Structure 1
Amino acid sequence: MNISEVQSHYSNIINKYDNELGQLKKVIFWVGTIRLIISIAAIVSTYILWGDTTSVIITLIAFIIAFLALMKHHNKLFIKKSYCEQQIVNAQNELKGINYDFSAFDGAPEKADAEHSFSLDLDLFGKRSFFQSINRTVTSFGKDTLANIFIHPFENKKDILDQQQAVEELKQKAKLLAHFRAIGQMSEADSLNSKDFSASFKRPSILKNSILWKSMVYIIPLIHIIFGLLIYFDVIVGGYYSLVYILTLGISFIPGKKVAQIMETFNEKSKVLDTYSKLFRIIEDEELKSAKLKNIQSQLKGITNASHAINQLKSYHNNLTVSYTFPVLMLFNPYLLWNVKYAIKVEQWTEKYKQEIEQWFEAIAQFDMLVSMGTFAFNHPDYTYPKVADKFIFEGKALGHPMLHRDICVRNDVNISKTPYFLVITGANMAGKSTYLRTIGINHTLACTGLPVCAESLSFYPCRLVTNLRTADSLADNESYFFAELKRLKMIIDRLQSGEELFIILDEILKGTNSEDKQKGSMALMKQLISLNGNGIIATHDLLLGNLEQEYPDNVKDYRFEADITNDQLTFSYKIREGVAQNMNACFLMKKMGITGL
């Protein structure tokens, strides 16, 4: 499959559901019209048959049954209509995404953290971020799980390979990906916070362990049966029954505050339980092959499947909720102690499934994350899964940045195959150094999360990435730019000294000091990084760092990005070349802009 076929896939989805939507709208119109006709017919029939009570009752019952059946069918049609509309919107957004417009998706700006080892430097979160380009999650905890895999990528080879297999399997199930997302988006599924939901199960029981109220659920109906029989056989007069009704109605109000507490536990959450039941069922019913996906599925399937159990809770809670509405309040409560019965059932449910609930929501969070990853892999058929090495290596052919448009993205190779080893990259302003560093960093991150990378091929070792590309002042901490950069470099040194294996990417070391200090400090830092068995890439304007290759021929390799001046015009190839940069462009640009008389 190529990118044109991916675009055709989404265009076909739009056409398919647009046609289906048109048919549904016609059916909805006619069902609504028939319901109106039934309502009018019921009124007319009642007027005509008014003198015949039996006929009026029978006719009204028939019309009511027909009306309710059509209303139920009408609601189902509206659900299908909403589903079609969601599929169309999603497909349209994917077509925009393929053309690098990710505005429809959540970039999780709240996850941006300047203290993180690399996320801010690589623009992982926020507007026009990589996370915005990949995020297709439908639950809040799925979004958190997806964000966490980028904040803390895998460091274990098996974890990465398992993730690759799961992503590749879901990539082949485009229909499943679209279905899962549409179902999850049809209600506010992300309004349910799994931690708060799980906490609800740890509250002490209110009615479940009360022998009195558990007994009353059976005693109250028995009282009504006994008095009914006594009246039927003329043992007592019927007038006494009103006293029994008033007594049992009063009894049903006694535990009202406790029942309300139990109902409030899931009050808002019950609205999305149906959605979660459907999402669980999608995972349970799918035939899955990869180890990771099968493990997720196994967490949902047991003696009682998660979808069935959640649906059961929804039913119990709905029955509990209606106990506060008429006529249940005046009929079911005094006769069946309906409110207490279902309050106890809700508590019994929480007791039965309190061990499984966290497991269920962890499973759906993982699957939600993988749906985003599978969609990413599907949308990038030209990307490739990297090979995971057992020792440090980062060798790739034709690496590109996934956020640069495919038509303008210039791809470059990278070769770091031993330890310690650094690429020192020199070059003019705007020649491509910083983009190259971010390209390496983002592809290393993709590789460590189990995603395909923007490259023809890549072999890598999943060590921890540390970058220093965008250091900033901190006014709040009264911290200068230079001091902030030193803290970052100190963190890198400390981690290397503690024995961590790091992949280090630095852009213009010691930017906040003067030229002489910068040269001395940069040379000293590079020598220290080599002595501590560091690996990585350093970009710099300081051509003296190019001398390091002569001093450390087995540990340093010089590369450059050149600015070519032809016929008084500045051009960039953005292709990496061996050696130290020859052409710098600052004076040329200043002259062209009339800033200097040079």
Structure 2
Amino acid sequence: MKIDYFKNSLAKAHLDEKVCLDRINRITFLRFAAFCSMIIIWAFGYDQQNRLCYFLAMLCLGYFVYLIKSQQKLKNTQRLLKSRQTVLQQYLDRFSKNWHAFTENGKEYLTEYTTQAKDLDLLGSASLYQYICAAYTAYGKQKLSHALLDAPQTPTSIKKRQQAVSDLARKQDLSIDLQVLLNLLPAKQSTLADSEKFLNQIEATEAYAGPVLKFFISVLPILTVLSLVCGELGIFSWQIGLIFLFVQFSLSGFFYGKNSSFLAPLSSFDQQLKMYEQIFYTIEKAAFTSPLQELQSKLTKDGGACKKIRKLYRISECAKMRGNLFFYFLANSLFLWDFQCALHFTKWKQDTAQDVRIWLDTLGEFELTLSLAVLCRIKDNYVFPTITDSNSPIVQAIDLSHVLLEENSAIANSLEINATTCIITGSNMSGKTTFLRSIGISSVLAYAGAPVCAKSFTVSPMNIFTSMRIEDDISKGISTFYAELLRIKGMVEFSKSHQPMLILIDEIFKGTNSADRIIGAAETIRKLTNPWSITFVSTHDFELCRLAESEHLPITNYHFEEYYTDNEIHFDYKLKPGQCQTTNAKYLLKMAGIL
């Protein structure tokens, strides 16, 4: 089972972290021992005037520095292992309902216009977005929300996305490695506003210094070093060297504010540069056999994003060193260090800044593909839908189940319809609404290029309209019933454009009396039954089932029903042809203790 892979991988990650932590603790002891040995040996050598002791003390110092670097590498490895544990645990949580606690649920993309997102659980708490999101950057999250909300693309574009998702789904280890690295990106770049601020700072290519200042920045450090060397050799007075040191330090102090402001972006994203370098390196070195190659080429052209980000990271590390007061004094007096960092940063921006937005957008596409491939890793029964460019809208499903239900408890249903209206009746809690959402959310996944939970699923591109979770609006004086009327009106108006539509209406006009409801529902069904539409309407009003016979409209009746065993109610959640013949409201009222 697929869950075993993640359980075993998580157990290995915990074991590797324990080994890593043991090595870190061992090195901590060795560092202390090396440092103490160095002090003792140096003191003994100083007391005995023994040069061999000085040599041994230097060896201890070298070993001490080596241990520091080794320990830092181990700590980085530990960070990666902890991130791997987080990613693997999230996959395990998707096999149960623990994924409901994931912090990323896409609620920030909900608006009053994205009604289908609420009705079909696309965004927000316990949503499809929350379930499959493997995006960590603002661009990746935004692309995932667009993929779930936007109107369907052409069948060719969708097929291209499917190929990319399938390619990445087969690369299990690569996908996990990418998510491990992405998970280490700082949270402050998680919003689009923060990302735009980051890009604006990078893309600002205003001139840092004029020709005269650049000349002095280039020449003064050379003259300073030469004057000090000549002073040491006695060629001329060493005081000239001191004058140059004073001039350079004075220049650095005079321009301290400007340099600090100019170099500030480097310090603000210093930590994430190293992660981006590793992320881009991982993608650049991967072998893809799908449209992902086209995305990969955007990162590998002109030397590659990894190489250029590495260069910026080195500039950032150099700029960070100015935070040490002793180093600031020494480096600026000798080399005009701040100016050198600023000039290198300026050169990098002039050569590369225009590519950064493309890199982040490309990374967002990879994150979108990672997210859509999540279902391939956690579902045993899935299929990539067939997107048909049929002139008539079509939905064909074999053993289709709701993607957000646990696989071992989800009940699958089959259906084949073509430009028709389906009226679905059934008892309370029998599965009508879940079935409508299964059709809707599976269509959304199909249009996004993702797999669905079915043996087979064929659908034509259609604009999705829903009326399920209707809410009133006190501030606007809109009741629940009127809010539903507005939804239905929007469907009717859009229908006049003759564009393909998939319409899902749950318990139509339930907010009014039965007589008016039947009249309004019947007229709505007449208006929404068109050659360019597939309409699903669930209802408790059996009168609507007679429309197919009385008006000869292309309407098909389906139903769900309950059964009783030992005076207990049960549901099989299977879609059946025809009108429902049973009701269970009185039984449920008795169960609740009301009757």
TM over 0.5: same fold? yes
Structure 2 CA distance for aligned equivalents of residues 138 and 78 of structure 1: 22
Instruction: Report the Cα offset of residue 87 of structure 1.
Output: 2.2
Distance 1:528 1:187 in 2: 51
Structure 1 pair 427–201 and aligned structure 2 pair: CA distance change class (3 A): same
For the residues of structure 2 that align with 1:553 and 1:459, how far apart are their CA atoms? 27
Q: What corresponds to 2:329 in structure 1?
A: 330
Match of 1:301 in 2: 300
3-state SS of 1:119 partner: helix
- Equivalent residues of 1:206, 1:262 under 8 A apart: no
- 1:474 and 2:473 correspond: yes
Unaligned runs of 5+ in 2: none
**2:395 is matched with which residue?**
394
Distance 1:399-1:303 versus aligned 2 partners, 3 A rule: same
Preserved CA contact (<8 Å) 1:299 1:363: yes
- 1:398-413 superposed matches below 5 A: 398-413=399-414
Aligned-pair CA distance for 1:80: 1.5
Q: Are the equivalent residues in 2 in contact too, given 1:107–1:131 (CA < 8 A)?
A: yes
Equivalent AA in structure 1 for residue 118 of structure 2: L
CA contact (8 A) 1:177 1:374 kept: no
Is structure 2 residue 80 aligned with structure 1 residue 83?
yes
- Hey, what's the Cα distance between the residues in 2 that align with 1:60 and 1:240? 37
* Paired residues for 1:485-564 under 5 Å: 485-531=484-530, 533-553=532-552, 555-564=554-563
Aligned partner of 1:378 in structure 2 is: 377
Q: Is the 8 A contact 2:508 2:521 kept in 1?
A: yes
Structure 1 residue aligned with 2:265? 265
Query: What is aligned with 1:135?
Result: 133
C-alpha distance after superposition, 1:418-468 (max 9, x if no partner): x3x111101121111111111111111111111111111111012111110
> Is the CA contact 1:138–1:190 (under 8 Å) kept in the aligned structure 2?
no
- With over 3 angstroms needed to count, the CA separation of the structure-2 counterparts of 1:393 and 1:239, relative to structure 1, is same
CA distance in structure 1 between the aligned counterparts of 2:582 and 2:38, rounded to whole angstroms: 90
Deviation (angstroms), 1:396: 0.4
Q: 1:165 aligns with which of 148, 163, 173?
A: 163
The aligned amino acid for 2:36 is: I
Q: Which residue of 1 aligns with 2:38?
A: 42
- Tell me: CA distance 1:560–1:337, structure 2 relative to 1, closer, same or farther (3 Å): same
Q: Closer, same or farther in 2 for the Cα pair 1:229/1:48, shift >3 Å?
A: closer
Q: CA deviation at 1:113?
A: 3.3
Alpha-carbon distance in 2 for matches of 1:266, 1:469? 49
Aligned partner of 2:249 in structure 1 is 249
2:97 aligned residue? 100
Paired residues of 1:194 and 1:361 also in contact (CA < 8 A) = no
User: Retained in 1: the 8 A contact 2:560–2:574?
Assistant: yes
Cα-to-partner distance string for 1:247-278 (whole Å, 9 max, x where unaligned): 22102222222211211133221221110111
Structure 2 residue 428 is matched with structure 1 residue 432: no
User: Alignment partner for residue 119 of structure 1, among 117, 120, 143?
Assistant: 117
In structure 2, the partner of 1:151 is 149
Per the alignment, residue 577 of structure 1 pairs with 576
What CA distance in whole angstroms lies between the structure 2 residues aligned with 1:430 and 1:485? 22
8 Å CA contact retained: 2:412, 2:574: yes
Distance 1:433 1:281, change over 3 A: same
One-letter code of the match for 2:460?
Answer: Y
Report the secondary structure of 1:548's partner residue: helix
Kept after mapping to 2: 8 A contact 1:170/1:177: yes
Distance 1:302 1:327 in 2: 41
For residue 221 of structure 1, what is the amino acid of its counterpart?
P
Aligned mates of 2:55, 2:197 — CA distance in 1 = 50
Which secondary structure state, in structure 2, belongs to the residue aligned with residue 319 of structure 1?
A: helix
Q: Is the 8 A contact 1:400 1:439 kept in 2?
A: yes
CA distance in 1, matches of 2:5, 2:387: 31
Match of 1:343 in 2: 342
Q: Distance in 2 between matches of 1:542 and 1:96?
A: 40
**Match in the other structure for 1:214:** 214
Give the structure 2 partner of residue 318 of structure 1: 317
Corresponding residue for residue 66 of structure 1: 63
Q: Which segment drifts farther, 128-137 or 162-171?
A: 128-137
Aligned pair in 2 of structure 1 residues 578, 252: CA closer, same or farther (>3 Å)? same
1:426–1:559 contact (8 Å) kept in structure 2: yes
What SS is found at the alignment partner of 1:49?
Answer: helix
8 A contact 2:382–2:455 mirrored in 1: yes
* Farther-moved stretch of structure 1 (84-93 vs 497-506): 84-93
Change (3 A) 1:188 1:522: same
Percent of paired sites with the same residue = 24
Q: What is the TM-score when the length of structure 2 is the normalising length? A: 0.94
Aligned with 2:11 (options 15, 33, 52) = 15
- What's the CA shift for 1:235? 5.2
Shift of 1:566: 5.7
CA contact (8 A) 1:497 1:532 kept: no
With 463-472 and 252-261 compared, the bigger mean Cα shift is at 252-261
Secondary structure, in 3 states, of the residue corresponding to 1:329?
Answer: helix
Structure 2 CA distance for aligned equivalents of residues 594 and 103 of structure 1: 31
**SS at structure 2 position matched to 1:409:** coil
| TM superposition shift of 1:190 | 6.0
Structure 1: which 5+ runs fail to align?
none
- SS where residue 331 of structure 1 aligns? helix
Instruction: Give, in whole Å, the separation in 1 of the partners of 2:148 and 2:326.
Output: 53
Match for 1:307: what amino acid?
Answer: C
Greater CA drift, 404-413 or 306-315: 404-413
CA contact (8 A) 2:394 2:534 kept: no
Distance, in Å, in 1 between the alignment partners of 2:553 and 2:592 is 43
**Aligned residues of 1:136 and 1:372 also touching (Cα < 8 A):** yes
Q: Name 1:195's counterpart in structure 2.
A: 196
Q: In 2, distance between residues paired with 1:260 and 1:37? A: 40
Offset of residue 153 of structure 1: 5.2
Q: Distance in 2 between matches of 1:526 and 1:222?
A: 85
| 1:340-381 alpha-carbon deviations (Å, 9 max, x no partner) | 111111122112112211110001111112122223212113
Alignment of 1:580-595 (within 5 A): 580-591=579-590, 593=592, 595=594
> CA, structure 1 residues 517+260, in 2 after alignment: closer, same or farther (shift >3 Å)?
same
Contact 1:134-1:376 at 8 Å conserved across structures: yes
CA offsets per residue over residues 37-65 of structure 1, 9 Å max, x none?
10110121122112328556544433222
Q: 1:362 to 1:329 in 2, by over 3 A?
A: same
Change (3 A) 1:565 1:8: closer
CA RMSD across the alignment: 2.1
Residue type of the alignment partner of 1:411: A
The question of whether the paired residues in 1 share the 8 Å contact of 2:397 and 2:414 is answered with: yes
Structure 1 CA distance for aligned equivalents of residues 9 and 445 of structure 2: 28
Distance 1:589 1:235, change over 3 A: closer
Q: Return closer, same or farther for 1:29/1:214 CA change in 2, 3 Å cut-off.
A: same
Partners in 2 of 1:225 and 1:25 — Cα distance? 46
